[in-house]
């Protein structure tokens, strides 16, 4: 689906569309199944540009980085972009300060704003780099691989990092004022 910004009247155009996005990857490059995404907002012409104010909403199934279980991640993000018909070149050298709106501009080839591309970009921008199903996720046992959230394992849990082993011996020798 696209919006032709060349044909929008001065009053602008409001939209609210469900989109189906496919071929997405998660933060760990895992395949995300096709998603139903809602993109709503408005496009208003403004001189040689158009202002896009929109909101993307979706529920993305992600894989937890600790326990490897799939969990739903809710994305609901509002954004604003300046849509230009073609790439505008800088008129001065590198010492000239950039216009803050240039950072958030989007090039619409032939004046056509591709809604799937906008929704995909905003979805990726709102995914966590390291998804965790919950703050208290215990992860997997490093020895047997059991999910510690669903129950314990029979592995010994008093593992000490070999780099810190000399400090553990020092701690055992020194008196602890908190110990009876």
Q: What is the pLDDT of residues 49-86, one digit of tens each?
A: 889 999 999 999 999 999 999 999 999 999 999 888 76
Residue 16 pairs with which residues in a beta bridge?
Answer: 40
Q: CA torsion sign, 81 to 85 to 87 to 91?
A: negative
**Taking CA 79 as the corner, what is the angle to CA 76 and CA 83, rounded to the nearest 5 degrees?**
140
Q: 47 falls in which pLDDT band (50, 70, 90)?
A: confident
Of the ranges 12-16, 33-37, 160-164, which one carries the lowest mean pLDDT score?
Answer: 160-164
Which of 14, 4, 15 is closest to 38 using CA atoms?
15
Say how many residues make up the chain. Answer: 180
Q: Which of 112, 122, 117 is nearest to 2 (CA)?
A: 112
């Amino acid at each position: 689906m696209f919006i032709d910004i060349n044909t929008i009247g001065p009053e602008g155009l409001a939209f609210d569309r469900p989109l189906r996005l496919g071929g997405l990857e998660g933060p760990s490059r895992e395949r995300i199944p096709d998603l139903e995404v809602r993109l709503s907002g408005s496009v208003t012409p403004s001189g040689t540009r158009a202002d896009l104010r929109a909101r993307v909403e979706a529920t993305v199934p992600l894989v937890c980085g600790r326990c490897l279980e799939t969990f739903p991640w809710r994305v609901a993000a509002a954004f604003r972009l300046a849509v230009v018909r073609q790439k505008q070149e800088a008129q001065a050298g590198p010492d000239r300060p950039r216009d803050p709106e240039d950072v958030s501009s989007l090039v619409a080839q032939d004046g056509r704003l591709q809604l799937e591309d906008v929704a995909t970009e905003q979805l990726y921008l709102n995914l966590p780099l390291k998804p965790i199903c919950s703050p208290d996720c215990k992860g997997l046992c490093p020895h047997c691989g059991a999910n510690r959230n669903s129950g314990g394992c029979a592995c010994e849990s008093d593992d000490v990092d070999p780099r810190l082993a000399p400090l553990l011996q020092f701690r055992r020798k020194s008196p602890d004022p908190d110990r009876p």
